[in-house]
Structure 1
Amino acid sequence: MVTGDVIDRRNDGEADLDHISSRVCFVTNGTPEADAAAAQLRARYGDYPVDTADVVVALGGDGLMLQTLHRVMGVGVPVYGMNFGSVGFMMNTFSEDNLLDRLEAVQRTRIYPLSMQVLDAAGETRTALALNEVSLFRSSYQAAKLQIVVDGETRLEELICDGALLSTPAGSTAYNLSAHGPILPIEAPLLALTPISPFRPRRWRGAILSNRAVVKFITREAVKRPVSAVADNVEFQNVLEVTVFEDRSHGVTLLFDPGTSLEERVLSEQFRY
């Protein structure tokens, strides 16, 4: 995560977009196509370090977008993506022309991460942030056994499964959707709790929770049935307890061309077949 002094930041952590024309930072996913496009853009528009830029332009796919959002979370710089990946759900279309005009016309979406706090088998406490989801996975051939506690009350005594995940609205169209979880509107104050290949109770399909909920996963038979916990791309092994809640002290801003906002994309995703 980038740290250090920053300038022209608003109280909500967003950069002041009045100065976009003078401070743009370009990052890429390292492919030859993205690197070549970035070189052209830098020659045309200049390039600034991320901690002094007013906007980061990310050239790559959704993986790069997620990495970049984590990188700027402590800096308060909004991110505008241009697609050089496969899916590009969070990216805009690429064009070298009129970039500054596009940036002036953007629609913004502010999203907040989940905080994951892990107690592992060695007695260590570890933390990480997740913009998409926090996931628990079985680490051996045996199914995991998880107790699920919501706001201090046990809601599921034992879930036998390959795992479970808690998703933000922004992440609800990602792994959560693949696990047959619900799509949540971006601005909804909700979280999606979704089992991964549940065996018992077989018909439990998860729950929709308030974004104020504190969810704790307790690993049963942890030595016999080891479990790992993942916050986006940060993984911890042999976890005993995992506590998850939305962290409003952090946040990131995504930028989209008019008519293609993240809200619109998530809504449209619900009508795909």
Structure 2
Amino acid sequence: MAKVQEFERIALIASDTERAQAAFAELLPTRNWAPLDDAEAVVVLGGDGFMLQTLHAMLENGRVIPAYGVNLGTVGFLMNRHRAGSDICKRIARARSIAIAPLCMDAVTQDNGRHRFFAINEVSLLRETRQTAKIEVTVDDKVRIAELVCDGVLVSTPAGSTAYNLSANGPILPLDSQLLALTPISPFRPRRWRGAILPDRSTIKLTVREPHKRPVSVVADQKEVRDIAEVSLAIARECELTLLFDPGHALDERIVSEQFVV
């Protein structure tokens, strides 16, 4: 990964938490910050949730610029370490860029409504009631599991593989692996199926069985659609995002490190 250029027009945004707002007030007088809609890059102060919110806003607005996150939240997996008093512009100039392609989700509801959202972390299908879900799993136009009986199922990108996917006992994927994780949530049948690792060029279709008795919702990162009939998923390479990381603290290193946490 090559060193990024030194950006001239940089925007500064912050979440509404007390810590993020304090850092915003500290950084605001250090340079002439550009408006976000005219910036070449953006500094994002907050946690992973605010970073995801910012990246999704870029996708929705159709204007994607590199984002440098400063962790003022909790986990901060997508962020850089907060260092009070450091020269943020010099850190950005030395940062390394990592490209992330989101999942594109096309969902069809029981009343034939159609919804398209992007997911940077994962798309998850979840049962809506006490009844277990029954889901048909199709990969590359071939039915792989005719009836997965479960609480749900999710498809994760490498960037999201240490989030909900890991909590559901899914695999951690290196960032450059070009893979997706297909992970069941509390599977009942097939009892021994623990998921699959797929090339990220795969197309995935998840079809709900017995939807009136066993309704299912779908969540693409923070967007939810209820009472779905089917969901189609594929990597959206045309919507590639860029995250900036300090040397030695890149996302791929964090993904490796996470596998040795005990």
TM range (shorter): over 0.9
| Equivalent pair of 1:55/1:79 in contact (CA under 8 Å) | yes
Q: Deviations over 1:148-199 (max 9, x none)?
A: 0111110001011000000111111111001000011101111000000101
Return the offset for 1:27.
1.4
Q: In the TM superposition, what is the alpha-carbon distance from 1:50 to its structure 2 partner?
A: 1.6
2:45 is equivalent to residue 59 of structure 1: yes
SS at match of 1:185: coil
Aligned to 2:141: 152
Structure 2 SS opposite 1:192: strand
Q: Tell me the SS of whatever aligns to 1:249.
A: helix
Corresponding residue number in structure 2 for 1:79: 67
Structure 2 counterpart of 1:41, from 24, 27, 51:
27
Measure the CA separation in 1 of the matches of 2:101 and 2:145. 27
Partners of 1:97 and 1:206 lie apart in 2 by 44
Percent sequence identity is 49
State the shift of 1:72 in Å: 2.3
Equivalent residue letter for 2:10: V
2:212 paired with 1:215:
no
Match of 1:163 among 142, 148, 152: 152
Matched, 1:234 2:220: no
CA deviation digits over 1:81-126, x for unaligned, max 9?
A: 1111111111111234211111110011100000100110111111
SS at match of 1:35: helix
Aligned partner of residue 241 in structure 1, secondary structure: strand
**Cα offset, 1:223, TM superposition:** 0.5
**In 1, Cα distance between the equivalents of 2:153 and 2:222?**
16
| Aligned partner of residue 55 in structure 2, secondary structure | helix
The aligned amino acid for 1:240 is: A
RMSD of Structure 2 on Structure 1 (CA): 1.2
Q: Do residues 107 (structure 1) and 111 (structure 2) align?
A: no
- Answering whether residue 224 of structure 2 is matched by residue 252 of structure 1, we say no
DSSP 3-state at the match of 2:239: coil
Q: TM-score, normalised by structure 2?
A: 0.95
Q: Secondary structure at the match of 2:176?
A: coil
Task: Single out whichever of 86-95 and 126-135 deviates more from structure 2.
Answer: 86-95
Do 1:136 and 1:165's aligned partners in 2 also have CA atoms closer than 8 Å?
yes
Matched, 1:25 2:11: yes
Deviation of the 1:211 alpha carbon? 0.7
How many angstroms apart in 1 are the aligned matches of 2:64 and 2:108? 30
Q: 1:136 aligns with which of 114, 125, 131?
A: 125
Give the corresponding residue for 2:162: 173
- Cα drift, residue 23 of structure 1: 1.5
Runs of 4 or more off by more than 6 Å in structure 1?
Answer: none
> Residue 258 of structure 2 aligns with which residue?
269
* Residues paired across the two proteins, number: 256
Q: Which residue number corresponds to residue 184 of structure 2?
A: 195
Structure 1 residue runs without a partner (length 5+) = 1-15
